[in-house]
Chains A and B, each alone.
Chain A
Amino acid sequence: QKEVEQNSGPLSVPEGAIASLNCTYSDRVSQSFFWYRQYSGKSPELIMSIYSNGDKEDGRFTAQLNKASQYVSLLIRDSQPSDSATYLCAVNAGRRALTFGSGTRLQVQP
């Protein structure tokens, strides 16, 4: 079992819709959770961090964390074609380095 799992996609949504990206992790002591966006040919860019159960909103992005279910998600409201990218989930468990999922490719159709 991979430590951080994501559906590779592609996830295709129409412009203006809500995109829902999911991630599960295996290490129960995980403490910090991050979402990165990576455009093709570019390096990952941190877009959201979440540390406690519940929702955290930042603009059109909402991160959701459920530690009991070992599940973290990212919602993108009013999706735009410029949101088309690969979204990487990353998890930090104590003093270990960040562990990344393999990413979900999102395509927003105009």
Chain B
Amino acid sequence: KAGVTQTPRYLIKTRGQQVTLSCSPISGHRSVSWYQQTPGQGLQFLFEYFSETQRNKGNFPGRFSGRQFSNSRSEMNVSTLELGDSALYLCASSLTADYGYTFGSGTRLTVV
């Protein structure tokens, strides 16, 4: 069974640009969550989607947005990139949060 697929694996962007990251969950998983991981802050929750609805949102500025499609695939977008947005962005899917999450390999974003 295929795992959680994130694309692209690596990105280098310039300050002020925007970026879109993609996540395909495990087949049958309708819950998709996004996390930002940095060495100093650990895993920070961005948002969670379930059946195309945003169910939870973390404490990130409005430059961070996301969506989920009818096939459960999800995208997150970061506009007006800042140097501090450089991080590993992780997507995770689950049947429900009660069962824990399965993470994708992540997208490493570098903002220069």
Q: Chain A residues in contact with chain B, CB under 8 A?
A: 31-32, 34, 42-46, 49, 51, 88, 90, 92, 95-103
Contact = CB atoms under 8 A, between A and B. Distances in A.
B98 A102 contact: no
Contact of B100 (A49, A95, A102): A49
B33 interface: yes
Contacts of B98: 31-32, 51, 92
B2 interface: no
Contacts of A88: 43
Contacts of A96: 56, 97
A100 B43 contact: yes
Interface in B27-59: 33, 35, 42-43, 45, 48, 55-56, 58
Q: What DSSP secondary structure best describes chain B's contact surface? A: strand
A44 B103 contact: yes
Interface size band for B = 20 to 34
Contacts of B100: 32, 34, 46, 49, 90, 98
A94 B52 CA distance: 19
Chain A at the B interface: SS class: loop
A97 B104 contact: no
B57 to A, nearest CB: 9
A51 B33 CA distance: 21
A32 B99 CA distance: 8
Given A32-B97, A97-B56, A43 B90 contact: yes
Given A31-B98, A95-B55, 5 more contacts: A32-B97, A32-B98, A43-B105, A45-B103, A97-B33
A8 B5 CA distance: 29
A90 B29 CA distance: 19
A48 to B, nearest CB: 9
